[in-house]
Amino acid sequence: MKKVSIKILGMHCASCALTIEKNIKKEKGIKKVSVNYANAKAYIEYDENRIKEKALEKVIINSGDYKIAQDFKEEDLVKKAYLKFIWSLILTLPLFLSMFYTYHFDIQYLGIDLETWIAHDLAFLIVFIIGWQFHKGMLNQLKRMKSNMDTLISLGAIAAYLYSVYAMFNNQPVYYETAGTIITLILLGKYLEEKSKGKASLAIKKLLSLGVKKARVLINNKLEEKDISLIKEGDIILIKAGEEIPLDGEIIEGETALDESLLTGESIPVEKKKGDLVYGATLNNQGVIKVKVTKIGQDTALAQIIKLVENAQASKAPIQKLADKVSSIFVPSVILISLLTFLIWFFLFNISLEISLINAVAVLVIACPCALGLATPTAIMVGSGQGAAHGILIKDSQSLEIAHKVNSIVFDKTGTLTEGQPSITDIKIVSNDLTTTELMTVAYSLENSSEHSLASAFIKYGQEYNLQLKEVKKVEALRGRGIKGIIDNKEVYLGNTKLRKELKVELNSLYEVTFKQYAREGKTPIYFIKDNKILGVIAVADTLRKNSQKLIAKLPHNIETYILTGDHQKTAQAIAQKLKIKNVIAEVLPEQKVKEIKKLQKEGKIVAFVGDGLNDAPALSQADLGIAVGSGTDIALEAGNIVLTDSNPLKILSALHLSQKTFQTIKENLFFAFFYNTIAIPLAALGLLNPMIAALAMSFSSVSVVVNSLKIKNIKL
């Protein structure tokens, strides 16, 4: 299956998007299709053996007056909409002013005053020349027995114009200013809509504009500037201070601090040294580094972020199905209401042709299918863009709808709430003859030469405190008990109770109490044994992440929290106690985590699972909402509905907050769109609204939906 996104020019409302979507679905080989009116794109997944991309483009073009955009700038659409509005406004002003001041030229043609002919000509230019796009759209839809927003505008403007022509030759009041003003105000709305939609998709544009175009490549010890597209995996590139990293890679020489806010949303520079990974479009703050390229093109971190954001914007939230259903019957229903309005006023109430027609026109021009079409996608565009800017990647819009319903959050412990790496947490020494530095220097030297499971904790400690390594001989791992070696011609041991008993070492009561205390706290206690004596107890534990406690404290009280881990019950309970999490499910294998999630779901809970996205993939998929916590390297995770590119636990809170606010905005937009049309159409039918006021209201209804969506940008994350 192949996935493509096709940019479409000429969509005027949600009905256009639905028509194109339905036509594409009819074709053979289509697996999935979503046409997004807000960002004017069709997202299609299809079997390229059964249908080609060119054929898909042809289907789109044949669905109406639509074009496939190749290379075009969104600014061009805004500029075009602006110029149309300005020219229409210039021609409309004399018509509008004629409502308050009457011009007299004392010249007649065919028995009609010159000023009336001028009004006619101006209206003709506005309605049929500047406003031709609406009539063209209506005719294209009519050929296919369809209708859209163009149909409503075209019928409304033409009705006002033709009635004025009739009135002009029958010495009755004309409504050329109404016909002209309708088109002008609709064009104003279109211009503001294009401008607002541009702001809504600003985040994705910024992402697309990131990244350098050229890089310095080291070839035969000489630097050569190359275009990014020509660089291959394995090439060595040089990056100076203040420059952007061109592509993903590994540092092979030099040290620096990188601004990775693009990936993580965190502005604090990250220290990098030889062997560390770096990512394209991040900023090298200091130092010159040489980087071996590991990923290019669509495999880079930036490309993956853009892909995830675009996928989110392409997907449709379940709530949008309601809007789609309404949109599909909206325009025909409005035309029918307009016709009934005319018939009832003219035949039932015996009101004049003039008033009956004006009321019918008001119904046509006040109805706004655009507001319905923009309600969901604009909120998703802004929300997903805002999330990407803060290291929160929303993979599908369905998750936005689920997030606000979540009442249970299950946390994987290791790597999510904790650092995921063992660290030295406590060192207890009784004798005054031995310092902490001396003891840890020996322990560090011994572990540095071993493959002991906890060696990394000692190595990290030794490097952090700049301890000097001693010479170690005959290092031996004692399976299930610890490790031994010879340092300064003396045997040294690091191990557990089994090892102490095996060596028949006498146990000091203080060390015994300390050992048991560390174990109760969920730590791994280790005896330091030398000269057949216990000289100290060292505790190793997976420490809590910096903001884990703050995260749990800030979660809403109605959300139940759980720890789900393969770790020992004692360790899990100790972590849970620190975090004030009541529910602990410990000693479970990765595949058993799914069963535990299902168990909670059977109890009627809406479950969010938070894990590292690797061994937790099944649980992330099973949960109602999967939140994958990772780092810049993990952004291509398939599991999880939301991917956090930073391991800061508070990002989980931000993700939930953003999802809830985005969904709330969608509901507000849909409520406004439905409420507006439900109130406005009957008011127009009752003759309480002038067509010009109706056109103004219609223009600003869609703009107000987009502006409401833009409020998401102000959410503090």
Distance CA(408)–CA(343), nearest Å, equals 57
For the structural domain made of 421-543, what CATH number should be given? 3.40.1110.10
Q: Cα 132 from chain centroid? A: 37
Two domains, one topology: 2-72 and 421-543: no
Please give the DSSP secondary-structure letter assigned to residue 487. E
Task: Read off the pLDDT of each residue in 130-143 and give the average, rounded to a whole number.
Answer: 87
> Any catalytic annotation for residue 276?
no
List, in sequence order, the alpha helices (H) in 390-508.
398-403, 436-448, 455-464, 497-503
The pairing of strands 560-564 and 583-585 is: parallel
pLDDT of 276 reads 87
Instruction: Report residue 347 as tokens.
Output: 């035949």
Listed range (25-29, 379-383, 519-523, 651-655) with the worst mean pLDDT: 519-523
Name the 3-class secondary structure at 208: helix
Distance CA(412)–CA(410), nearest Å, equals 7
Angle of helix 320-343 relative to helix 149-169, nearest 10 degrees?
20
CA dihedral sign of residues 466, 470, 471, 475 = negative
658-678 pLDDT, tens digit per residue, is 998 998 998 999 899 888 888
Please determine, for residue 222, whether its predicted confidence score (pLDDT) is greater than 80.
yes
pLDDT of 264 reads 63
Task: Read off the pLDDT of each residue in 480-490 and give the average, rounded to a whole number.
Answer: 87
Residue 343's pLDDT band (cuts 50, 70, 90): very high
Overall residue count recorded for the chain in this entry: 717
pLDDT of 632 reads 40
- 325 or 642: which carries more pLDDT confidence? 642
Distance CA(322)–CA(124), nearest Å, equals 39
pLDDT of 252 reads 92
Please give the DSSP secondary-structure letter assigned to residue 634. G
Instruction: Report residue 374 as tokens.
Output: 């923009």
Gyration radius of the chain over CA positions: 35
Q: Are 572 and 519 in contact, with CB atoms under 8 Å apart? A: no
Catalytic residue among 65, 259, 412, 612: 412
Is 2-72 assigned to CATH 3.30.420.40? Answer: no
577-619 pLDDT, tens digit per residue, is 889 998 999 878 777 888 999 999 999 999 999 987 556 778 8
pLDDT of 584 reads 92
Task: Read off the pLDDT of each residue in 125-134 and give the average, rounded to a whole number.
Answer: 93
pLDDT of 131 reads 93
Of 82, 96, 88, residue with least CA distance to 190:
82
Query: Which secondary structure element, helix H or strand E, spans residue 316, and what is its range?
Result: none
**Domain extent listing, the chain:** 2-72, 75-202+310-380+665-714, 212-245+248-295, 421-543
Task: Read off the pLDDT of each residue in 461-475 and give the average, rounded to a whole number.
Answer: 89
CB atoms within 10 A of CB 35: 26
pLDDT of 212 reads 78
Is 212-245+248-295 assigned to CATH 3.50.50.60? Answer: no
pLDDT of 636 reads 39
CB atoms within 10 A of CB 315: 22
| Average pLDDT for the chain | 84
- 563 or 393: which carries more pLDDT confidence? 563
152-162 pLDDT, tens digit per residue, is 889 989 998 99
pTM of the model: 0.72
Residue 612 phi, psi dihedral angles, 5° rounding: -85, 0
Give the list of residues 6+ apart from residue 100 with CB closer than 8 angstroms, or none.
none
